[in-house]
Each structure stands twice: as C-alpha cells, then as structure tokens.
Structure 1
C-alpha cells in the first residue's frame, strides 16, 4: 500500500519513507528497519524523517519494550477505496529523475 496521493509530491526519500510506514501500518518501524527499506544515504533519511515529523506526517510510538517506532499519521494512510492505480504522470514521475 502507498501513501495517499496528496502526499506523493514530496522529496523522493520522504515518499519512500511514507510508503514503507503505510505498508507496515500501526505496527510501525524502527529507524534501522527503515534503513533496510528505503534506498537512501543516512543523512538523506535523517533529513526526510525530520521534515516528515515537522509536517506532522509521521509520529513516534514507544512500545512496551522501550523500543521507539515510527508510524504514519492517520491522514497519510489511504482509505480502503483509494487503491486506484497510479496515473500516467505518477508512473512517469517514479521512473524519471525529476
């Protein structure tokens, strides 16, 4: 599952982070787990996380074992009926380096 369409016009690393977190759902991911899912340098990932947190698109959650995980904000997760295939523009945007 991917983040809502309205959040897909962000930096490539930010979109990759949102998609990974949305796919995992309320279970969330640690930063180390995100590193394995998002193909980006650590500095780019850190910058993306900082921007997403500042914009209220991701949240942190502490689990019972004191492990901090990142989860997507509810407004980023698509509704069940938003599984539309990507538009031609979205497919081109994903393939071409803009």
Structure 2
C-alpha cells in the first residue's frame, strides 16, 4: 500500500512517512517506528510530520500510554486495492512540469 498519487508530489520525507503509515493504517506507528522506516534524522522527520498534520493527512492519538501516528483516509488508498499501473495520462503528467 502506498500514498495516493495526488500526494506523491510532496517532499520525499513526507511521501516516505505516508507510505510507511499506509501499511499500518489501522494500528498506526510511533515516531520511533516511523524513524526505523524513514531514513531521515529526527528533525527532518519531525518537520515532515508537522507539515502532514497541518495539511490534515495524519493525526496523532494516545493509545496505551504512547502516541501513535495514523494516516487520514484521504492520504492512502483503500486497504484491499492493488496498485494500478499508471495510464498514459499519468505518465505524461508526471513528466511535464505542472
């Protein structure tokens, strides 16, 4: 599972966070778990989490005396969908600077 295509043009760290959270959308991840999946220093990760939270793409919840980060439904695809092959229009849009 990955972040939805409309969010893939974000900063690389933000996309990596969304991709990691997409795999654990129900239970979420702690910051330490995210750090092990996203190859960035803690300051860069914290900045990315702030941007994603400000844009409403993630939320933080208290669970069992720990804070977990969960993706918003708008940020990741359906849990049971297979990743589609991009069509010709997606490939053109990715190559052109819009």
Instruction: Name the TM-score, length of structure 1 as normaliser.
Output: 0.81
Q: What pairs with 1:47-86 in structure 2 (closer than 5 Å)?
A: 47-63=47-63, 65-79=64-78, 80-81=80-81, 83-85=83-85
Larger radius of gyration: 2
Match of 2:53, SS state, is helix
**Larger helix share, 1 or 2:** 1
CA RMSD, 1 decimal: 2.1
- Deviation, 1:50, is 0.5
State how far apart, in whole Å, the 1-side matches of 2:86 and 2:31 are.
Answer: 28
Match of 1:28, SS state, is coil
How many residues align? The count is 90
| Structure 1 unpaired stretches of 5+ | 94-98
Instruction: Name the TM-score, length of structure 2 as normaliser.
Output: 0.81
Match of 2:9, SS state, is coil
Match of 2:35 in 1: 35
| Structure 2 unpaired stretches of 5+ | none
